[in-house]
Chains A and B, each alone.
Chain A
């Protein structure tokens, strides 16, 4: 069965430092992979997606993610964190033959000044 794992409930980083939010997946076939961000009391906002092509995907607000097929990972990264990046981040995967997304449990990112 398809699944998504976000192994860290919370990630803490200092402003200006690089950040990584981890995501691993299990799915049959070629995956469609997504990252979303959620600010307090808001819906989810799309950040970026991997469908095919270059393994490094660039998205909104300076975020990027690297697709690694051998490690079945899709980690979210940013070279220099901002306090305003503090939010809840969700990784999701769509199985190739489905229109549903499977979401991870979410990782709370806290960027301290």
Chain B
């Protein structure tokens, strides 16, 4: 069974802290994605990666960075967390072999206080 895991389901951080969200997939997928989900705004793409060490900005990259040192792991970094980054964060992966269907992790609900 395919699996995408995220390091935390719930996370509470203080303003100004550096925050790491980890995502791991076991499907050998080339592509990985980070989204944030907010009520009324749907899913918004933050960053994606199509290969190890490769990354591209999505629609809302400001305030975020990413790292992909290994194929199975894609990390989202909030350099200095702010309250407007309180959100649900979703990781996904895909492969051309499955018609780019994305497989999602369970999500991390981040609260920045």
Q: Are A49 and B101 interface neighbours, CB within 8 A? A: yes
Q: Are A49 and B99 interface neighbours, CB within 8 A? A: yes
A99 within 8 A of B: yes
In the complex, how many angstroms separate the beta carbon of B2 from the nearest chain A beta carbon?
A: 10
Residues of B contacting A99 in the complex (Cβ-Cβ under 8 angstroms): 31, 48, 50, 94, 96, 100
Q: Which residue of A lies closest to B6 (CB)?
A: A43
Rounded to whole angstroms, the CA-CA distance of A100 and B30 in the bound complex is 12
Q: Are B109 and A41 interface neighbours, CB within 8 A? A: yes
CB-CB contacts below 8 Å: A1-20 with B: none
Q: Are B48 and A46 interface neighbours, CB within 8 A? A: no
Instruction: Give the size of the chain B interface in residues (CB under 8 angstroms).
Output: 26
Q: How large is the interface on A (under 10, 10 to 19, 20 to 34, 35 or more residues)?
A: 20 to 34
Residues of A contacting B100 in the complex (Cβ-Cβ under 8 angstroms): 32, 94, 99, 101
Q: Are B42 and A45 interface neighbours, CB within 8 A? A: no
Rounded to whole angstroms, the CA-CA distance of A71 and B82 in the bound complex is 43
A105 within 8 A of B: yes
Rounded to whole angstroms, the CA-CA distance of A44 and B92 in the bound complex is 9
Rounded to whole angstroms, the CA-CA distance of A105 and B4 in the bound complex is 23
* 6 closest Cβ pairs, A-B complex: A43-B104, A105-B42, A44-B104, A103-B43, A43-B106, A43-B107
Beyond the given pairs A43-B104, A103-B43, 8 more chain A to chain B contacts, judged by CB atoms under 8 angstroms and listed by A's residue number, are: A43-B106, A45-B104, A90-B42, A94-B100, A99-B31, A101-B102, A104-B42, A105-B40
A-B contact pairs, 29 of them (CB 8 A): A32-B100, A41-B9, A41-B107, A41-B109, A42-B106, A42-B107, A43-B90, A43-B92, A43-B107, A44-B43, A44-B90, A45-B104, A46-B101, A46-B102, A46-B103, A51-B99, A90-B43, A99-B31, A99-B48, A99-B100, A100-B45, A100-B58, A101-B94, A101-B100, A103-B42, A103-B43, A104-B42, A105-B41, A106-B42
